[in-house]
Amino acid sequence: EPEVTQTPSHQVTQMGQEVILRCVPISNHLYFYWYRQILGQKVEFLVSFYNNEISEKSEIFDDQFSVERPDGSNFTLKIRSTKLEDSAMYFCASSTGLAPLPQFFGPGTRLTVL
Amino acid sequence: AQSVSQHNHHVILSEAASLELGCNYSYGGTVNLFWYVQYPGQHLQLLLKYFSGDPLVKGIKGFEAEFIKSKFSFNLRKPSVQWSDTAEYFCATANQAGTALIFGKGTTLSVSS
């Protein structure tokens, strides 16, 4: 069964550094998403992406964040200058269409900002 | 804006006990409701979803959920839990455009054998 994959599984960085989190969505999916979960809190939506542009973003997704689909398979989330409060689990997801079609999630990248 | 709330933070059950996890949603027009599960060390997996039709929805692994419009509820049930059901359970809804999922805080289920 096809799965969403994410790399790395754990990323440790210093405050102020740039990080890029990588995702490979399921191959025939058209919609891509990033969510995050700060330890002990709920899973929060960051951004959705379709047809090479952002279709929706939350208030969390400020100018420090950007997304890109650099080729036909990868989907990346870049945090320009990390802050301590960016420490979280970041989940990538993909779907064939909008809700109610389901989103399929990757295993997550744990980002630790020191 | 759409939201969901889950009442139970941590539920502890013995094997073979029945399970009901509560979820209430705020009504924003279109109804799209989901239950996801996250087993220890694994990714979020869809258990079941509801958007229209029969309000009793059956999902994978013997789970079901009932959409009760008058109560704004979408509770998850399983008649007899197993140790392997130990996991975190998330209720979610979609925003109006269908472009984002909005999750509840999650319920941790611990099943003892």
Cα-flanking dihedrals φ and ψ of residue A83, to 5°?
-115, 165
CB contact under 8 A, B46 and A108: no
Tell which residue, B59, B42, B84, has the closest CA to residue A91. Answer: B42
Q: pLDDT value at position A55?
A: 94
Return d(Cα A85, Cα A43) in angstroms, integer.
15
Q: At A39, which amino acid appears?
A: L
Among A31, A100, A105, whose Cβ lies nearest the Cβ of B44?
Answer: A105
Residues of A in contact with B43 (CB under 8 A): 3-4, 91, 105-108
B90 lies within 8 A of chain A by CB:
yes
The answer to whether residue A1 scores a pLDDT higher than 80 is no
A and B: number of Cβ contacts within 8 A: 68
Chain A: nearest CA to B49, how far in angstroms?
A: 8
Contacts of B42 in chain A (CB under 8 A): 107
Nearest to residue A58, comparing CAs of B1, B35, B54, B82? B1
Q: Quick one: pLDDT at residue A76?
A: 97
End-to-end CA, chain B: 41
- pLDDT given at position B28: 67
Please give the DSSP secondary-structure letter assigned to residue A83: -
The pLDDT tens digits along chain B (113 residues) read 789 999 889 999 999 999 999 999 997 678 899 999 999 888 899 999 999 999 999 999 999 999 999 999 999 999 999 999 999 999 999 988 889 999 999 999 999 98
pLDDT value for B42: 87
- HSE-CB at A87 with a 13 A cutoff on CA atoms is 11
Q: What is the pLDDT of residues A63-110, one digit of tens each?
A: 999 999 988 889 999 999 999 999 999 999 999 999 889 999 999 999
Express each pLDDT in A28-71 by its tens digit. Answer: 999 999 999 999 888 999 999 999 999 999 999 999 999 999 88
